[in-house]
Structure 1
Amino acid sequence: MTESILNALVHLFAIIESAKEDTEIVDSGELVIRPYLRKNLNNETLTTEYIKLFYDYLNFYKSQPATTNDDGLTIDSTSILQIAKICNQLNKELLRSERLIVFMQLMELIGADQKVTPKEEEFAALVALNFNLDQDDVTNLKNFILRLDTIELDKKRILVIDNKQTEWPEEMSRIIRKNKKQKPSRHLYVENLFGRILILYLKSVETFVFRYDGPLNLFLEGAKIIPKRPYILKPGSIIKGPSITSIYESDITKQFIHEQANTRVVLTGENVQYTFKNSSNGLKSFSFSEDSGRLIGIMGGSGTGKSTLINILNGKIPPDKGSIHINGFSLEQASIAGVIGYVPQDDLLFEELTVYQNLYFNAKTCFSNFSEHFIEKTIRKVMENLDLEEIKDLKVGDPLNKTISGGQRKRLNIALELMREPSILFVDEPTSGLSSRDSEKMMLLLKDLARKGKLVMAIIHQPSSEIFKLFDKLWILDEGGFPIYDGNPIDAVVYFKTMNTQVNAAESECPRCGNVIPEQILQIIEAREIDDRGTSTRKRRVSPLTWYEKYKENILPRLLKLKYEPVLPPTNFRIPGTWEQFKIFSKRNLLSKIANRQYVFINLLEAPVLAFILGYFSKYAPEGVYAFSENINLPVYLFMAIVVALFMGLTVSAQEIYKDRQILERESFLNLSRFSYINSKVSFLFMLSAVQTLAFVLVGNGILEIHGMTFYYWLVLFTASCFANMVGLNISSALNSVINIYILIPFILVPQLLLGGAMIKFDELHHSLSNQKYVPVVGDLMASRWAYEALAVAQFRYNDYEKHFFNVNREISANSVYRSYMIPEVQSINNQLLNDSVSWKTSDRELTVLSNEVRRLNEVFGFKAFPYIDQLNPAYYNRRVASLLTGYLKDARQFFADRYLRAQERRDSVYSVLLKRIGKTAFLTLEKKYHNEFLANLLMNRSQFDMVYRGKDQLIQKKDPIFMQPYSRIGRAHFYSPFKLIGDIRISTFVYNVIFIWMMTIVLYLILLDNTIKKIIRFFESPKGDEQNPTIWAKMLDTLANIPRAYLKTLQIRKSKTAYR
């Protein structure tokens, strides 16, 4: 309190005191002013100085002649102006509650002589008017202090505490009053309390004033209570006496709270237990019963299970044994109904959004039945209550790059939960990282919530005396999860001192200042034994089990199981439907991204910059004049374009879910749809990928002068990028740190590079992986292989030059290969067998090749069937069959030669028509502009020396893979195949590959919905003792089997919630 404020207060007291008719009867300065100053200054010298100042002012005003105003008031105009001036000065410094305290002191000053003059009443009214005090509170406070009876007091705001039994038990009395719709007559019975304690509730400031009329020696905060004098009952205060049970401020508060609350909430737990796997830690058997209007603190050393207890209570962790109910309903039912709120220690904020936007989107997900106007009104109310109005337009920022303070961040986190008004609020370490002042503000906020009828439970570390006193109840856990205390915080000091047989066990507070030292509780609990050398050992003096036994013996039997009405409190909490949630999540995600300018700048420039770098460096022009047809780097550009698409898609999505992990946890706690959340992320990333890949194609293709292929390039790169998006989202959802995510990215990209088909030929891989006939399975698992093949085949096949000749060129190639390579190879095998008759019986492999190739001539190309096909085996093969086969193959070769000539004629015809239509110069320009010779060399395998590979059961063509028909009819094919076969259906490679990548993307999407990868990781991270449990493997297989049902499951959850409501 500043010097100017003290001067003003003493000045005001002197003016009021000067209004007394006779100051010789009672010395108010000593009776009222000195105790007030001593309490606020805690310095006797200063107190004496200000008492002297008070008497100086008093003597001055007493010496002034009395005057009367024209309007009949007994106060002169000078005094009116002085009081107004002093009150205005005090108004700038004093809170409303502090003004009421000053007014109470003035009333005590006026009533010190037990006589109230009209002038004193006018002074009191003038001060109340200038202080802007609530008129009802002023009237009640005046009557409370100046009259000893309760006739003039508002019965709704009075509580009488005495030793008189009520006619009915409290529970029955409440029911009777409720049925009769009468206003409650509050009464609290305390055995052996002679006289009575009268409590006045000042509603405007939610403060209690009391006085005691009786003969007992009662104490408040270690100081003796003077009968008939008013006292402020601070949060956490205890009225004690030698022969009465302690009267707690929380018990008094409850008398008023339960009348205000619509529905009383009782949280009950019976023998709740939880044990971590392969560990004795967790939570030992714990029973409790707590109701509305309490602020409960949970204390204990590090690793004692406080967070585990909170997570059990909020339903995040199911207990191994026991049950928890809220008014008889399960935690799941209560959570769906919006009864439970949870504020974790970490932020639940969108750092890129403003304070208002965080609250707005939270409101949209909680109040589906509210209009925009009502949501706006709700947000304004919460911001006003939590003092967030001034920062509503500030971006939240991250903890290291702050734009709002730590205390404001905590209040904003609490605001997110309070907006939907849960009846029970769990808060994990609300004061961590805050200054002592912000910590006290935060706890006062939680205390205020409790006074409004909420049940608030908070984990607390090293609380100050003021914070410690705010708790209505304290739970203490010891190592191993043993509950060792459940009761009033102040009594905890006495309890542990008594259990530890300390000398001053009954002393809970400092007798001089009234402060409590909470640290001494943990010091007693965790005290270590001292060895012979006088050093502390690791062994505890009292083990956790011993404290637990004392708890079961001394505390547990006294705990009462509260009664409740089996109904949940009404709430406005209504989550939107799946589609509405998707729109909310999408808008929130988009705004958070736009607000991050670096994110926008990098992601919009990344693609064109990389395209420029790639296009510029791969624009091969040996003589200074660039020609697309002569660019030897085109295949490299195609493959690197795929790599860039995968890289961009992976990096942009790798943190998307991980950075929202805390928010996701909260939204799952609110039963919001994971399906909607995932779809909002997927849709945004797909749109971003579409923009990025289009920018890449426009820039890169423009530099390399790739014409007429924009759609093909964009679709393939977009498809590959979307696949990478899904991979990134899966690892973002599954892994538990950013480091792990970015360590994993090379393990994903390197196989895509190695097995994409461009760097290493598939038939040149390690023999255990390679396959001469098809792309090996390990290659088929790579999205880069499908994308690169689709892009290369599309560039070769669908450009404006080749599209005129592709079909006829394919026919020419097929006939040429069989005429020049395949049939001669078959003839070679047949001649080899004919010249070596001894090996017929052991030449099963060669004969199998002969049989399959001869059969293929008929089935694939329509050449006449060989009548002795069944004799091409070791049992029947002979010289006659070999001679007949020689003639047959000669006819077949002529067959393909004739087909080849006819195909050449058709090609010449196409060439002539095209030449006639556009001219020779334009034709040459067309070829140079659209046809790349080096890509053609690659796809026609012109560098291959062996045109035919002799496999185990057939000959495999190596020449012209781009023109070659696949061997498989189930979709598998060689690399650069022009189309894929599904039965007799031909699907172009471009279409097939794009569809295949999207199928892989959909599988990843279903895995993401079910969070399968995270479940598998959790399974393998479980203790080794579980590996021998066969049911674990069954559970994992069941998880994998449930992937296709993930979408349906998400929709069913929403349906069940609606049905419950």
Structure 2
Amino acid sequence: MSDKILKALMQLFAIVANREEVGTKGRDIVERFLKRQLSSSFVQQYLITFDTFLEQLSGKSEEGKNRKRISVNSVKVLRICTDINKELDHKQKIIVLIRLLEYVRASALEINEQHLEFLKTVAEVFSIDEISYDNCLYLTGITLTKLPHSENLFLLIDKNSSTADKSFHIQKENLSGEILFLFFKELNFFVFRYNGSDQLFLNGRAIVPNAVGVVDVFEQGSVIRGNKLNSVFYNDILHQFIGSEISKQILFEVKELGYSFRNNKIGLHDLTFTASSGNLVSIMGNSGAGKTTLLTLLNGSIKPSKGKILINGTDLHSNKNNLHVWIGNIPQDDLLIEELTVFQNLFFSAKLYFGKLSNEEIEQKVNECLISLGLFESKDLTVGDPLNKFISGGQRKRLNIALELIRQPEILFVDEPTSGLSSNDAENVMDLLKHLSLSGKLVFVVIHQPSSDIFKLFDKLLLLDTGGYPIFYGNPVDSLSYFKQQMNYVDFDSSECVECGNINPEENFKIIESKTVDEYGRSTSERKISSPEWYRLFNENFVKKESGKKSIYSQIASPVSKVSSAFIQYLVYFKRNFLAKINNRQYLAITLIEGPLLAMILAVALRAHAPGEEYRFGNNPNIPVYIFICTIVALFLGLIVSAEEIIHDKKILKRESFLRLSRSSYLFSKISFLFIVSVLQTFMFLLVGNLILGVSNLFFDYWLVLFSVSCFANVLGLNISSGLKTRVAVYILIPFLVIPQIMLSGVMVKFEDLSPAVSSQSKVPFIGNIMASRWAFEALAVDQFKNNDYEKPYFEFDKIMSNKSYRTDLWIGIMQTQLRNAEMFVHSHKSSNDSLKLISSFIKNEFQDLHDEYPKLPIHNITQLDMVSNQEFFILCNHNMDSINKYLIKEYNNASEKKQQLLDVQIQKTGDDQLFVAFKEKHYNDKLEEFVKNTTGLTKILIAENKIIRRFDPVFINASSKGMFSAPFFSYSKSFFGMEMDTFWFNIIVLWLMTIALYVTLYFDWLRKILER
């Protein structure tokens, strides 16, 4: 209180009674009031002020002007009360009124109309209602009749067993006299009087026995003790009043609960306790004591190794899907989406749960919740991060609580709600949690180093010792007395400071961990009482008492989940994510700019031409490099944009897991958003890159491939984001994902040049087939060569000419060589039958493959080659060779003639040979032709794996007769379930199948499960 208020109060006390009427008792009341408000050094100062005011008023009385004095004093009372009215809260006003009543009761020989008039004036100015005023008169003994409508505001403690209303009576058999409590409901605040002869103590201070009219304040954390009396705690009295108002009575029973880690280390020793609705339970202990383990056991996040948890008789872990609706969890970590406003954070959280309500109804609920938590004025402020705050730390904590509170769980678990807060914010948050418990919720709070005021808010304290040993469960105020008693302290019955009434929770730990001393008086590392010994005492003093009690709870309806449908969840998740991203300007700028910026840098660098000459697409040797870089950029952008998505939300997802929301809805919302980002990034990248390099008329094809690759990378990034625990690990892993895509794509190192352990001479090896970059680059390279405006009309002719040329120029030569070798083996009589059979088998297989590729070829008696003599075999083979060669030359000439005719028509259309050459240079790239036709490769054909392997013009190879994944690199077609399919579309299908496979691994979170093993 300020000096101004205290002086005004001293003057008020002085006015109430003159000097003749005041006695020692009256002055004692003033002194007692000051001691509650001030340190001892200031008490005498204000007592002197009181005496001075009293002297002044008495002097005027002596002058014989009594009536004038009464009139003047009435005006003074009104003025003083009006002055201090705005600076006192309602609780302080009631205390001032009670002290004035005490003062009058103790000092006045006879209470007259003047006294009552003064007191009534004070009550009216202080806005104290008539019922509260009349009840105060009754409690102080000024009136002797209790008002009928006030019965439920009084509670009596005496030794009698019979009373009209058990709810407002507590029997204490050894109590002499009675204790009468008056409850101020709106303040959760009590005052009481004691009429009896026992020596009782309030917070360690003696209560004067048989003191008529003396009233004591019974505040949060207060306790009344006596030699014969079992302690009377504030919380016990409070629950007598509010217990009947709780609509859903929840009984939370923990029975022999224990937990062991995978290495068989015990995390929690057997624990048994009960808690019920309306309780605020504190869980305390040193680091490593198992507080977090216990909290995760209690909220159902992990399954205990032994024991069980019952909620109204139903096992939590066996019926988690039904009981999760009753449970809310608020972890220590911040669960807010930093880019959204206060209102948006709460609205989207509510929308996920109350999906069946309209937006207007949900908005109403959100606004009511914000108003109740004092956040309504800040509802449109962006939350921000802890380093870039827009709202205070206390507001952040209250908003975190609101995320759970809005769905009104019956049981709430809160981890370290005061960490990182100022003392004022910490008290505000704890007052909120206390209010929740008083409204009927059961609230468990893990807390570290609470202040005295916060410590007194708790109804129960569960204390854990190092090693997971429970060592205390009961009223927090009684904890220090318990530990002192076990250590045989003389003052074990004193837990509060007599002067200020504060309790230091740290004293508990000092006693628990107190060390023995050696013969030299130095502390050792050995405790006086070990953790197991404290645990044994806990079982004796607490568990045995609880075990004999019968569980009593009322049956209430099973909880009904109000969670939104999967589709509504998807919409909410998507909108929440979308708003968060567009509100993050830095993210938005980088996401939209990096694509075109990279394209511009790369395209400008790759736009090669001779100095002084005009740039021509056809002559640019860097086009294959550009196509390859496009695929790598799409992979990189897709990974970067997605790699942090889930790991950023993991804390939020952990909280939302209590709602049993749809994982697929969340994942689809992320994937949908990322695919939209990929659409924009790949579009803008190609728009710039293709324009600078002059890649024309295939924009959609390029975009479709890069978009497919980027989507693959999106889902791959989500997998590592879900599987890894830290952002650092994610970004360390990204190079390990991108570098193999570069090295094993078949571009940097040809597949046939890889290690024999992983390579194949006849097809793309398995390690290449699992690289998205391989499928994307092949699709673009083949498509750019095959479907550009110049080559497209001639591709079929070029294919026929290339394939016929390969057979006549290369294949027939190899076959003839093999036949000559076979004849030499036969005539020499030196070769083994196995060698001859191998060559014969090779020749027959090649004839069969050729016949499968060209059914119209004049190949005779293939099936009879196994049944003829060696001489007949060679005759048949040579005859077939001649027929094949003539047929292929004829087919080649026909195709060449048709192509020339088409070329002539095209040249005639352009009107000029130079214009036609310019047209070709605009669309047809020579370096890409070298790449897909392998024109620079020295090896055009080879024998491996007992067959001829073609390296000549791979782009013209028809692979439809081969397996789906057995086609050579750059072949223009693939086999898709026996059907011929264009390489471009086949590769896109493969990319999307790989993406779908990654989604399956993401949905089941296999990466995380594998890493955790």
Range of TM-score over shorter length = over 0.9
Are residue 709 (structure 1) and residue 703 (structure 2) matched? no
Partner residue in 1 for 2:958: 965
Change (3 A) 1:586 1:115: farther
Partner residue in 1 for 2:754: 765
- 879-888 vs 629-638, which moves further: 879-888
Partner residue in 1 for 2:408: 421
Q: 2:583 aligns with which of 592, 595, 608?
A: 595
The structural deviation recorded for 1:567 is 3.2
Give per-residue Cα distances to partners, 1:211-251, cap 9 Å, x unaligned.
22222221111112234422221112111111111111111
Contact 1:594 1:600 in 2 (8 A): yes
Distance 1:424 1:686 in 2: 40
Are residue 388 (structure 1) and residue 366 (structure 2) matched? no
Partner residue in 1 for 2:135: 140
Contact 1:853 1:954 in 2 (8 A): yes
Partner residue in 1 for 2:975: 981
Contact 2:21 2:109 in 1 (8 A): no
Partner residue in 2 for 1:35: 32
Partner residue in 2 for 1:679: 668
Alignment RMSD: 2.5
Are residue 371 (structure 1) and residue 358 (structure 2) matched? yes
Partner residue in 2 for 1:198: 180
The structural deviation recorded for 1:95 is 2.5
Partner residue in 1 for 2:853: 860
Partner residue in 2 for 1:850: 843
Contact 1:288 1:561 in 2 (8 A): no
Distance 2:90 2:483 in 1: 38
1:447-458 aligned within 5 A: 447-458=434-445
The structural deviation recorded for 1:282 is 1.2
- DSSP 3-state at the match of 2:186: coil
| Identity fraction in percent | 40
The structural deviation recorded for 1:271 is 1.2
Distance 2:516 2:858 in 1: 99
Contact 1:628 1:928 in 2 (8 A): yes
Give per-residue Cα distances to partners, 1:615-643, cap 9 Å, x unaligned.
11111121341111111101111111111
The structural deviation recorded for 1:330 is 3.1
1:438-517 aligned within 5 A: 438-517=425-504
Aligned AA for 1:598?
Q
Distance 2:111 2:881 in 1: 133
Q: 1:433 aligns with which of 415, 420, 434?
A: 420
Give per-residue Cα distances to partners, 1:325-351, cap 9 Å, x unaligned.
111223245864621111111111112
The structural deviation recorded for 1:830 is 0.9
Are residue 742 (structure 1) and residue 731 (structure 2) matched? yes
The structural deviation recorded for 1:510 is 2.6
Partner residue in 2 for 1:887: 879
- DSSP 3-state at the match of 2:949: strand
Contact 1:144 1:200 in 2 (8 A): yes
- 150-159 vs 240-249, which moves further: 150-159
Q: 2:197 aligns with which of 197, 206, 215?
A: 215
1:488-887 aligned within 5 A: 488-532=475-519, 534-559=521-546, 561=549, 563-568=551-556, 574-624=562-612, 625-837=614-826, 838=829, 839=831, 841=833, 842-864=835-857, 866-870=859-863, 878-887=870-879
Aligned AA for 1:646?
L
Aligned AA for 2:89?
L
- DSSP 3-state at the match of 2:701: helix
Change (3 A) 1:845 1:115: farther
1:342-353 aligned within 5 A: 342-353=329-340
Give per-residue Cα distances to partners, 1:767-824, cap 9 Å, x unaligned.
1111121111000000111111111111111222221111221111111111111122
Change (3 A) 1:14 1:153: farther
Are residue 24 (structure 1) and residue 21 (structure 2) matched? yes
Partner residue in 2 for 1:93: 87
- 662-671 vs 218-227, which moves further: 218-227
Partner residue in 2 for 1:1029: none
Contact 1:328 1:566 in 2 (8 A): no
Aligned AA for 2:987?
N
The structural deviation recorded for 1:861 is 0.7
- 651-660 vs 149-158, which moves further: 149-158
Give per-residue Cα distances to partners, 1:686-742, cap 9 Å, x unaligned.
111111111101111111111111111111111111111111101111111111111
Change (3 A) 1:256 1:870: same
Distance 2:917 2:117 in 1: 110
Aligned AA for 1:99?
K
Contact 1:612 1:700 in 2 (8 A): yes
Change (3 A) 1:972 1:85: farther
The structural deviation recorded for 1:993 is 0.7
Aligned AA for 1:1013?
L
1:147-166 aligned within 5 A: 147-151=143-147, 154-166=150-162
Q: 1:262 aligns with which of 233, 243, 247?
A: 247
Aligned AA for 2:759?
S
Contact 1:971 1:982 in 2 (8 A): no
The structural deviation recorded for 1:263 is 1.4
- DSSP 3-state at the match of 1:805: helix
Change (3 A) 1:739 1:222: same
- TM (norm. structure 2) is 0.94
Are residue 1004 (structure 1) and residue 998 (structure 2) matched? yes
Contact 1:852 1:953 in 2 (8 A): no
Change (3 A) 1:537 1:736: farther
Partner residue in 2 for 1:5: 5
Distance 2:703 2:715 in 1: 18
Partner residue in 2 for 1:400: 387
Contact 1:29 1:51 in 2 (8 A): no
Distance 1:230 1:902 in 2: 119
Gapped regions of structure 2 (runs ≥ 5) = none
Distance 1:846 1:142 in 2: 121
- 394-403 vs 929-938, which moves further: 394-403
- 721-730 vs 398-407, which moves further: 398-407
Give per-residue Cα distances to partners, 1:243-271, cap 9 Å, x unaligned.
11111111111112211111111101111
- DSSP 3-state at the match of 2:122: helix
Change (3 A) 1:271 1:336: closer
The structural deviation recorded for 1:851 is 1.1
Partner residue in 1 for 2:935: 942
Partner residue in 1 for 2:229: 244
Partner residue in 2 for 1:1039: none
- DSSP 3-state at the match of 1:290: strand
Contact 2:300 2:320 in 1 (8 A): no
- DSSP 3-state at the match of 1:683: helix
Distance 2:22 2:96 in 1: 23
Give per-residue Cα distances to partners, 1:544-592, cap 9 Å, x unaligned.
2221112222222222646344534787962111111111111111111
Partner residue in 2 for 1:1042: none
- 236-245 vs 918-927, which moves further: 918-927
Change (3 A) 1:908 1:83: farther
Distance 2:320 2:262 in 1: 27
Contact 2:647 2:725 in 1 (8 A): yes
Contact 1:140 1:153 in 2 (8 A): no
Distance 1:512 1:761 in 2: 86
Gapped regions of structure 1 (runs ≥ 5) = 69-73, 174-183, 1020-1061
Distance 1:335 1:10 in 2: 61
Distance 1:301 1:877 in 2: 94
The structural deviation recorded for 1:603 is 0.6
Change (3 A) 1:380 1:833: same
Distance 1:117 1:127 in 2: 16
Distance 2:456 2:557 in 1: 29
Q: 1:908 aligns with which of 892, 897, 900?
A: 900
Give per-residue Cα distances to partners, 1:998-1049, cap 9 Å, x unaligned.
1111111111111111111122xxxxxxxxxxxxxxxxxxxxxxxxxxxxxx
Aligned AA for 1:8?
A
For these two proteins, the number of residue pairs brought into alignment is 994
Distance 2:805 2:120 in 1: 115
Distance 1:983 1:296 in 2: 65
Distance 1:520 1:791 in 2: 74
